[in-house]
Amino acid sequence: MRERFRVSGGASLRGQVRVVGAKNSALKLMAGTLLAVGRTRLTNVPNIVDVTIMAELLRRLGCDVDWRPEDGVVEIGVPERIGHRADYELVRALRASICVLGPLIARVGEADVAVPGGDAIGSRGLDLHAEGLEALGAKVHVAHGYLIAAAPQGLHGASVHLEFPSVGATENVLMASVLATGHTRIENAAREPEIADIAEFLVSMGAHVSGAGTSTIEIDGVDALHATEYHVVPDRIAAGSWAFAAATTRGDVEVVGGRAEHLEISLDLLAGAGSTVTVTPDGFRVVGPQGRPCSVDVATLPYPGFPTDLQPFALTYNAVADGSAMITENLFEARFRTVQELARLGADARIDGHHVMVHGVPLLSGAPVEASDIRAGAALVVAGLVADGVTTVSGAHHVDRGYDRFERQLQGLGADVVREPDDDLYG
Ligand code: UD1
């Protein structure tokens, strides 16, 4: 059944909200468990649909997966013999499934992974994934909608220079190289905290990895890894969403578990535009300004730049800010679907190529809107909070892919948001 969020405008978010492990790390760590025979236990895993899909994918590869969403624990028993095919049916529901490619080629010597669909945010190539694995000795081609990789002789260390610091390509090359013979050096690697988290996880399994979190990662391959227990890094994107939501609604929110050092640019922007940001013993706190927040220009870039995943929240923020702002999207070309929905709420925003010009208005005007992906959906719910009257955000399932019971967290902060059936005529 389709569901939507029903948001009554007018609330300032106040109180504490807790962030748990990062979706974008947890999914990769789950894939990474394939690298070692035995039972690996992950804690601080977010209770989101994507984790359930990844659990199913691992089961189909032959693993015994015990996923306890209420405890945030997933235990994955990896047998000696595992499959090597990730079907389209699962990959289309979870584009992050492509991260099984590196672990499978390293462990089994072959991998057939359906070419992913997933979030509707621009075309996302896999060329860098393929080039990186080829440098390690794999043969990679695409046929019948599958990316097929094989390394019958095993993988060998190599120098891999990524043309662009792709998060997914860095992860696949990193996870493939830990079992390759000899030394691998990944240059122009992505520097996201989730990459450092994966590296730390691999080291806890016995891998030799250094430099993760910088643009050069060095790996010395080992013959085998062992099962481990690991606590997932907190979700900086969820934490950043709450920071923007607090500033946008002129609220006062402590993000418990949030790491300010992973959100430096975002929090500096908010602080420079009238919010008060403080680091607390358990996380950080954002207190919005008394009056309308000031507008802020934003340009998305690979980490440590402004995260593309927070761009929809920057749009919502600027839609009600005092002044005009330019939002530039440098990572994904079609990631402006929020704009047309915000316009339905009365925002004054115009797309020009990969820029959006936003002129802030004092208040949005509640209306039915549609979520196109996880972050867009959550940002539209926040927009509903600063809109007059009622806003409904259809496509709640998108938001469930990234946020653990979003409406309950918002209710805990004093917002009037409920989930309800979406009686869309054609849905
Ligand atoms: C990851 C995150 C996503 C985030 C993104 C950028 C997960 C599950 N998803 O996605 O939430 O928005 O990082 O921070 O972790 N590209 C190529 N060829 C390639 C690979 C990428 O051209 O082989 C391009 C893509 O089309 C895109 C850009 O590089 O324009 C960024 O992609 P990448 O950094 O790989 O992001 P993802 O790993 O897909």
Q: pLDDT by residue (tens digit) across 292-343?
A: 999 999 999 999 999 999 999 999 999 999 999 999 999 987 788 899 999 9
Q: What is the DSSP string of 41-76?
A: EEES----HHHHHHHHHHHHTT-EEEEETTTTEEEE
Annotate 170-194 with b (16+ C-beta within 10 A) or e (fewer). bbbbbbbbbbbbeebbbebbbbbbb
Q: Which CATH number fits domain 3-19+235-421: 3.30.70.2190, 3.30.499.10, 3.65.10.10, 3.40.50.10740?
A: 3.65.10.10
Q: Which whole number is the average pLDDT over 95-113?
A: 95
Report the atom number in ligand 1 closest to the C-alpha of 302: 14
Percent of the chain's residues with pLDDT above 70: 97
Catalytic residues: 119
Three-state secondary structure call for residue 270: helix
Residue type at position 115: V
Same topology for domains 3-19+235-421 and 23-226, yes or no? Answer: yes
- Distance in angstroms (rounded) separating the CA atoms of residues 295 and 284: 22
- Distance in angstroms (rounded) separating the CA atoms of residues 313 and 244: 6
Three-state secondary structure call for residue 112: strand
Q: Which whole number is the average pLDDT over 367-382?
A: 96
Mean pLDDT for the chain? Answer: 94
- CA 83 / ligand 1 centre spacing (Å): 26
Cβ-proximal residues to 335 (8 Å cutoff; 6+ apart), any chain? 121, 122, 308, 311, 312, 329
Q: Which whole number is the average pLDDT over 224-252?
A: 98
Ligand 1 atom 35: residue of nearest CA: 166
Instruction: Grade residue 425 by pLDDT with cuts at 50, 70 and 90.
Output: low
Report the atom number in ligand 1 closest to the C-alpha of 131: 23
CATH T-level fold of 23-226: UDP-n-acetylglucosamine1-carboxyvinyl-transferase; Chain (3.65.10)
Ligand 1 atom 11: residue of nearest CA: 309
The reported pLDDT for the residue numbered 256 is 98
Ligand 1 interacting residues, C-beta cut-off 6 A: 24, 96, 122, 124-129, 164, 166-169, 190, 308-309, 331-332
For the stretch 180-216, pLDDT in tens is 999 999 999 999 999 999 999 999 999 999 999 999 9
In this prediction the pTM is 0.95
The reported pLDDT for the residue numbered 178 is 98
- Distance in angstroms (rounded) separating the CA atoms of residues 200 and 64: 24
- What are the residue boundaries of the structural domains of the chain, listed by start? 3-19+235-421, 23-226
Q: Are strands 38-43 and 229-231 parallel, antiparallel or unpaired?
A: parallel
- Distance in angstroms (rounded) separating the CA atoms of residues 178 and 155: 10
